C-alpha cells in the first residue's frame, strides 16, 4: 500500500475557496455578507502586525466585512466581556474572534475555523430572519390582521 501525501496548504485552500464561494452566493442572492470582529489582545504592536494583516487579507478575499478592536494584552475579563457583548448586539456582526499573541504563530486550522464559524452564524441569522418573515406573512395572520383593522375601522365609524 502506498502512503498518500497530505498537502495541508492545498486542503486549506480548498476549504477557503468553498467558504468564498458560499459567501459570494449569499451576497448575490441576499445582498448581505457576513461580518466578523477581531479583538486583538496585544502586548506589543509589532508582535501582532503580521497576524492582523493575514486575517485582514483572508477576510477580504473571502468577502467578509471586518472590524478590528485593539486592546491591551492584560485587559480584564469583565471589560473584554462587555466589548464582546456590544459587538454581539450589532446585527451586522456574526462572529467575534479574540486574537492573542503566540510564539507559535497562526495555525491554518484556527484560521479556517474562525471563518467557518462566522459563516455558520451568518447563515443561522438569515434562517431566523426568513422564519420571522414567513410567520409575519402567514396568510392566516394577514387575514386576522385585516379583520382586526376592518373591525377597528367600523367601530370608529360607528358602523
Q: pLDDT tens across 81-95, in order? A: 999 999 989 989 988
Q: Helices H, strands E: what count in the chain?
A: 5, 3
CATH fold for domain 11-157? Rossmann fold (3.40.50)
Quick one: average pLDDT of 88-112?
75
User: What span, in angstroms and rounded, lies between the C-alpha atoms of 40 and 54?
Assistant: 13
Supply 133's cell numbers. Answer: 418573515
78, pLDDT greater than 70: yes
Residue length, the chain? 159
DSSP 8-class letter at 37: E
DSSP 8-class letter at 5: P
120 touches 18 (CB < 8 A): no
Q: Identify the pLDDT of residue 52.
A: 80
Domain boundaries, the chain: 11-157
Mean pLDDT of the chain: 79
| Of 64 and 159, the one with more pLDDT | 64
Amino acid at each position: 500500500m502506498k502512503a498518500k501525501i497530505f498537502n495541508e496548504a492545498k486542503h486549506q485552500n480548498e476549504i477557503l475557496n468553498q467558504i468564498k464561494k458560499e459567501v459570494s452566493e449569499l451576497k448575490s442572492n441576499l445582498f448581505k455578507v457576513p461580518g466578523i470582529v477581531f479583538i486583538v489582545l496585544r502586548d506589543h504592536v509589532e508582535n501582532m502586525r503580521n497576524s492582523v494583516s493575514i486575517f485582514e487579507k483572508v477576510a477580504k478575499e473571502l468577502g467578509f466585512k471586518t472590524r478590528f478592536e485593539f486592546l491591551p494584552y492584560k485587559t480584564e475579563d469583565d471589560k473584554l466581556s462587555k466589548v464582546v457583548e456590544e459587538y454581539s448586539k450589532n446585527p451586522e456582526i456574526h462572529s467575534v474572534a479574540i486574537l492573542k499573541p503566540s510564539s507559535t504563530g497562526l495555525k491554518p486550522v484556527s484560521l479556517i475555523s474562525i471563518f467557518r464559524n462566522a459563516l455558520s452564524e451568518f447563515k443561522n441569522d438569515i434562517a431566523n430572519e426568513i422564519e420571522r418573515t414567513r410567520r409575519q406573512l402567514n396568510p392566516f395572520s394577514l387575514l386576522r390582521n385585516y379583520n382586526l383593522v376592518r373591525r377597528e375601522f367600523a367601530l370608529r365609524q360607528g358602523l
